[in-house]
A and B are shown apart, each in its own frame.
Chain A
Amino acid sequence: DGGITQSPKYLFRKEGQNVTLSCEQNLNHDAMYWYRQDPGQGLRLIYYSQIVNDFQKGDIAEGYSVSREKKESFPLTVTSAQKNPTAFYLCASSPSLSGANVLTFGAGSRLTVL
Chain B
Amino acid sequence: SQQGEEDPQALSIQEGENATMNCSYKTSINNLQWYRQNSGRGLVHLILIRSNEREKHSGRLRVTLDTSKKSSSLLITASRAADTASYFCATEDGGTSYGKLTFGQGTILTVHP
Contacts and interface: CB of A to CB of B under 8 A. Distances in A.
Contacts of A41: 105
A113 to B, nearest CB: 18
B50 A100 contact: yes
Given A99-B30, A99-B31, A108 B40 contact: yes
A98 B99 contact: yes
Interface in B70-113: 88, 92, 98-106
A41 B86 CA distance: 11
Given A42-B106, A100-B48, A105 B101 contact: no
A19 interface: no
Contacts of B30: 99-100
Contacts of A108: 40-42
B44 to A, nearest CB: 7
Contact of B33 (A44, A48, A97, A102): A102
Interface string B19-50: 00000000000110101000011111100101
A59 B1 contact: yes
B103 A90 contact: no
A80 B88 CA distance: 30
B14 interface: no
A87 B81 CA distance: 28
A32 to B, nearest CB: 13
A48 B100 contact: yes
A102 B100 contact: no
A28 interface: no
20 contacts: A35-B103, A42-B2, A42-B4, A42-B106, A43-B43, A90-B43, A96-B99, A98-B98, A99-B30, A99-B98, A100-B31, A100-B48, A101-B92, A101-B99, A101-B100, A103-B45, A105-B44, A106-B42, A107-B42, A108-B40
- The 3 A-B residue pairs with the shortest CB-CB distance in the complex, in nearest-first order: A105-B42, A97-B99, A42-B103
Interface of B: 1-2, 4, 9, 30-31, 33, 35, 40-45, 48, 50, 88, 92, 98-106
